[in-house]
Each structure stands twice: as C-alpha cells, then as structure tokens.
Structure 1
C-alpha cells in the first residue's frame, strides 16, 4: 500500500507532466503556425522587392522572342546575375520562369549545377499560369519542399509568359523550427523540474513533515505516554494540520485530567501531584478559597471567561500541586511532576498570573534567558 507521500508524489509528477506536455504541444503547434505565417509574409515581401528591382534594372515589358524570355531589351535566359543579387538581399532562393521552365535560378541540382531547364510543379503551374493567380505556401522545388511565393509575368497584351519565384527551403525552415522547439523543450524541462522540486519541498515541509510528527506523537498517545505528548504548533498558522495538532493537544490534556479525576474518585493519589500514595491531602481554608476562586473563574462568575483551550480539571490539577508544594517552581519542574507538557503548564500558569493567583519572579543566570519561577499567592488578592 502506497503512503500518502508516495501518492502525493505520483499525483504531483503526473499533473506536472500532463501540464508540461500539453503546454509544449500547444506551444509547438502555435509556434509552427506562427513560423509558417512569418515565412509566407517574408516571401510576400521579398517577391515584391524582387519584382521592383527587376523593373528598376531592366525597364520594359516581359515578352518571349525566338524561344527566349526578355525583360525590355535584355534576355533573361541564363541571366543569373540578377537572381543571385536578389537572393543575396533576401536570403531566399530566386527563379525566373519562361512559362513553367526555369531560365535563371539560384536553385541547385544534386550535381551542383543550376537547375536551368527544370520545371515547376503541376500544382503551381495550374494556379499561376492557367488561373493567373498568385501562389503562396509550401511547394516542391526540384524535389525539395520550400515555403514559396510565385507571381505571374505578363507581356504588353496581358498574356502570361512566365513566373517569378522566391522561396525558403523547408529544410532550413524546419531546422530553425526544431532548434527553437528544442530550446523551448529544454526551458520547459528545467521549469518543470523546478516546479516539481518546489512542490515536493512545499508538500514535505507543510504536509508530509507535520503529518509524520503527528503520527509519531499519536503513537505515544496510543501507548499511554501522555507526558511527552506535545504537537508542534505555529501560532500564526491557520491550516487544517495545525488545527488537528491543537485538537490532539487538547485531547491529551483532557485524557490526563480525566485520569487524575478517576484516581481521585477511586481514593487513589500519586506522588506525581506532590502527595505520597495513601496520604490524605489536607486542604486548609486558604487553599479551599483558591479552589473556589478557580471554580468561580470556570463557571463564569469571575470577571472574565476562561480562555478557549483551558479546562477546569487541568486547572484544578495544577492548583492542587502548587498548594501542596511551597516555594517557587519553574514550568519544567511542574510539568515533570504532574506529567503534563511544558506548553500546557505554561498556558495555565500564564492565566493564573493574569488572575493574580500566582506571582512570577525572574531568576537571572550568567548567560541565557532568565528563568521564570512561579509561586502560589497564599492570600486572597480581592
């Protein structure tokens, strides 16, 4: 059976992984769409610049003469100077087509030669040459995928005589995309690890750690070891574990007090309360007056109600011990003798001091904090 720690770890890891993978997939898809749009937008801009450069360098209309493509008076077949220049400015591949045949291009064959005389894809030829439309998007160029832009070239009569092309190799585009995705993945893994470690530390410190302490302390409780029962409680905290610790502390006090009452009811006493077994405790009028005063406090006839967390039986238990022991006592001495925790005893002594039923003296040593010594007030302060 898995422990809460292991269950929480598995749950946290699974949740973080699902969120991280979902985020990376969604981001990757969106990034790819954005990258494609950026490539198409660049191609759109570059083809407009290329056409403007052609018009500026070679004034005149496009036309075919003797199976050669001309721009004005300049023959464009094998005029690689202009496509190389446009390519150097844009970083794109660049081609001039006569109909669907490349007559000047920066595209290279596998042999390292320019792809002069090769043809465009049928899809592009149909779109641009047959329909007279511009083409934007992915297309196959000499056996390789490119993000492309094609524009038709018109002669003076408005007939389409060729195409002008710019494009970005999909290999280059994919490499740029996957490099960016890898960087995103590395950042995502690092952030996921940091979130996981932070969550694990938080759960260990705030949940698992306190639960382990509660488990160890309640095991003492189950064995009847009430003396050492004391849950660590942060006064400023308001979470459920702190409230549970307070409740267990109070339950321990009630069980201790109930055990004391049972001993009293059965005629048994203990040296833990300052009286030898079998010895009768003599209550003088002064002690009886203080006990009556404590009852008055608890019953509400005193000038203030008993604070939350204090109970009548434990208060009587501490008062009884103080009455049967003269002199000044420290919290540790009282707690050790009556088998209550120092935290519990200190709360009750603070309240008794507030009510004027005990006085506090400070004992200063050469080093460290001064020691508080408590003495029962033997006369009615009212």
Structure 2
C-alpha cells in the first residue's frame, strides 16, 4: 500500500500532467488555426509581391501564342528558372498556368519531376478562370494539401488566359506548430518538476512529519507506554488533530489513575482474617476515627500538654496515635507518621504528587493518607485551577 505522501504526489502530478496535456492540445489546436490564418495572409502578400516582380522583370501584356504563354516578349512556358527564383524569394511553391494547365512550376509529382502539364482542381478553376476571382484557401496540389493563393492572368483585352499560384505546404505550418509545442512541453515539464519539489517539501514539513509524530504517540499507547502530550506545527486540521490527541492522552491518564485508585481501595478493603471480617461487618471498611487525644495511661497529663500545642498537625505528631481506636483498614501508623513529618517539614500547600515524590510512595497511596488526615482536621484541601486540564488539589497543614 502506498504512503499518504506518495498518494498525494501521484494525485498532484497526475492532475498536473492531465492539465498540461489538455493545455497543450488546446494550444496546439489554437496554433493550428493561427498558423493557417498566417499562411493565408502570407499567400496573399506573396501573390502581390510576385506579381510586381513579374511585371518589372517582364514588362508587357500576357498573351498566348501557338499554345505557349508569353509576357511581353518573354516566353513564360517552361521558364522554370524564373519560377525557381520566385520560390527562393518567398519560400513558397510557385506555378504559372496557361488556362488550367501548369506550364512552369516548382511543384513536383510523385516521381520528383516537375508537374508540367498537370491541371488545377475543378473548384479552383471555377473560382479563378470562370468567375475571375482571387482564390485564397486550402487546395489539393498534385495530391498534397497547401494553403494557396491563385490570381487570374488577363490578356491586354481583359480575357482570362491563365493563373498565377503560390502555395505554402502544411509541412511549414507543422514545423511552426511543432516548434511551439516543444518549447511549451519543456516549460511544462520544468514547471511540473518545480511544483513537485515544492509539494514534496510542503507535505514533508506540514503533513507527513506531524502525522508521523502523532502515529508514534498512538503506537506508544497501543504498546502500553503512556506518552506525553505532543506539540507539532501544521495546518488548522493538523492542530485540531493535535488537540484531539492531547485530550485523549489526558483522558487516558485520568482513567488510569482512577483504575489504580479503585484497585488499591479494593485490595486494602479485603479482610485478612476472621477477626478483621467481624470488625469490618460491625463498623464498615470506611470508618475513620479522628480523635486527636492520645490513648495511653497518661491521658490526663497529655491533655494538659494538648492545650499548649500550636496546631492539630503538631498535636498529632506529639501524641503519636489516636485515642482508643486503630487506624482505618489499609493505613499504617509508621507510614502515617512519615507522611506527617514530611508535610510538617514542607509547611506549605502541597499536592499529593509532591508528597509521593518526597516520601517515595505511590501517589494513590499518599492521597489516601492525606484524605484521611483531611477528614481528621489535620489538613484541609483547596483546588488550584490552571489554564488547561483538570484542577490541582492542594493539601494545606492546619
């Protein structure tokens, strides 16, 4: 299966190639029409130029004598050198007709011989010889198509005795069109290559790389390694995907914490023996006794000292335990003392995470001890709200 980058590049390049093909075909068709128009204009100009050259070279009227065509005193029939000269000046094929028959021409037949004695097409003969009009357009010249121009040749009396022809081969048009299309194709390929490089860079930086980072994050989650939030740059859609991924990470972290806490509570509430079971059935697993009066034989003396203590936290640390009752199920006196001493040392609002890091215990375990002390009036809690995520719960010594 192709990667997203390959699919986008193939789609883009395919679209560019299709667009370039359509453009070249349209441009070629446009150039074909323009080339034909230019050829017809050239034919008209060459007719006028050649007519003036003929009149200056051979002054006098056109006339027929003994089946030959003359201009003034010069014989034009079979005067191939003259038509070759006119052809070299204009780049056209040149023919002089007596009636509808070629008597001097540069046009060659299939055997590469001059097409002397061949006749003009009937449509041209109708327009020029019979109607006396100039013909400019496509015409079949000895089996090949040319953009042509024909003018009638008139005798001194005004009778039409022949025609003069210039023709531009389709090969001329095709060379001009092919040259333009080749240049256009080279420019199109260069532009396509440049666009492909720019597209590849854009895809790599703003789409593929951000998606790759998100993919690595999801792979970590799938393999059980909870990832941190990601920070990537990209388009609006990529940023929305980043936000959705980070929200998913927050939810997974929160869900994991709740599961750990529920599991720990379940394990600690399991009875260890029959006595604990009877005790739990009588009092319930959640009973918490929070008497801060010491439970020993010197109760009266300790009560005297209790009045002089500065705070509930200091009172509990000095007494060391609760009067007449054991700790709730799952709590340990030594651990509780350790946490209390750490909290007293810090002497400021502190989170369960900070306490857990300080006493080297899990956050879930530490939170249970802190919440117990909060119920006993040793600590109180407060919520600290940030700009992003869930509020932070802080425990404040009393």
> Where on the TM-score scale, by shorter chain, does this alignment land: which range?
0.5 to 0.7
| Cα displacement string for residues 259-307 of structure 1 (whole angstroms, at most 9, x for unaligned residues) | 445656776788994141445666999x979x74xx36x3xxxxxxx53
Q: Give how far 1:240 is off.
A: 0.4
Taking structure 1 as reference, are residues 59 and 254 closer, same or farther at Cα in structure 2, changes over 3 Å only? Answer: same
CA shift, 1:165, in A, is 0.9
TM (norm. structure 1) is 0.66
Are the equivalent residues in 2 in contact too, given 1:61–1:155 (CA < 8 A)? yes
The aligned counterpart of 1:231 is 230
Summarize the Cα distance change of 1:70–1:312 in structure 2 as closer, same or farther, 3 Å threshold.
same
Question: Aligned to 2:247, what secondary structure does the other structure show?
Answer: helix
Q: Secondary structure of the residue that 1:138 maps to in structure 2? A: strand
1:40 aligns with 2:40: yes
My pick for the range that moved more, 27-36 or 210-219, is: 210-219
Contact 2:95 2:165 in 1 (8 A): yes
What is residue 73 of structure 2 aligned with on the other side?
Answer: 73
Q: Once the 2 structures are TM-superposed, how far is the Cα of residue 183 of structure 1 from its aligned partner?
A: 4.0
1:117 corresponding residue in structure 2: 117
Larger Rg: 2
Query: Which whole-Å CA distance do the structure 2 matches of 1:28 and 1:200 have between them?
Result: 31
State how 1:147-162 maps to structure 2 within 5 Å: 147-162=147-162
Q: How large is the RMSD of aligned CA atoms in angstroms?
A: 3.5
The alpha carbon displacement at 1:215 in A equals: 2.1
* Compared CA separation, residues 212 and 238, structure 1 to 2 (3 A): closer
Partner of 1:53: 53
**Equivalence map 1:159-308=2 (5 Å):** 159-226=159-226, 228-234=227-233, 237-260=234-257, 263=260, 273-274=356-357, 275-277=360-362, 278-279=365-366, 292=382, 295=383, 298=385, 306-307=386-387
- How many Å separate the matches in 1 of 2:183 and 2:101? 41
Which SS does the other structure have where 1:133 is aligned? coil
- SS for the counterpart of 2:146 is strand
Instruction: Tell me the equivalent position of 2:304.
Output: none
Distance 1:143 1:182 in 2: 29
Maintained 8 Å contact 1:97/1:163:
yes
Alpha carbons 1:96, 1:162 under 8 Å: kept: yes
| Equivalent position to 1:311, from 389, 392, 395 | 389
Which range moves more in the overlay, 165-174 or 195-204?
195-204
Secondary structure in 2 matching 1:86: helix
Name the counterpart of 2:327: none
Contact (CA 8 Å) 2:46, 2:90: kept in 1 or not?
yes
Contact in 2 for aligned 1:16/1:196 (Cα 8 Å): no
CA contact (8 A) 1:270 1:276 kept: no
The answer on whether the counterparts of 2:58 and 2:74 sit within 8 Å (CA) in structure 1 is: yes
| Separation in structure 2 between the aligned mates of residue 222 and residue 250 of structure 1, nearest angstrom | 16
**Structure 2, unaligned runs of 5 or more:** 266-351
Partners of 2:87 and 2:106 within 8 A in 1: yes
Rounded to whole Å, the distance in 2 between the matches of 1:221 and 1:281 is: 31
Give me the TM-score of the superposition, normalised by structure 2: 0.64
Q: Secondary structure at the match of 1:312?
A: coil
Residue 50 of structure 1 and its aligned partner are, at CA, apart by 0.9
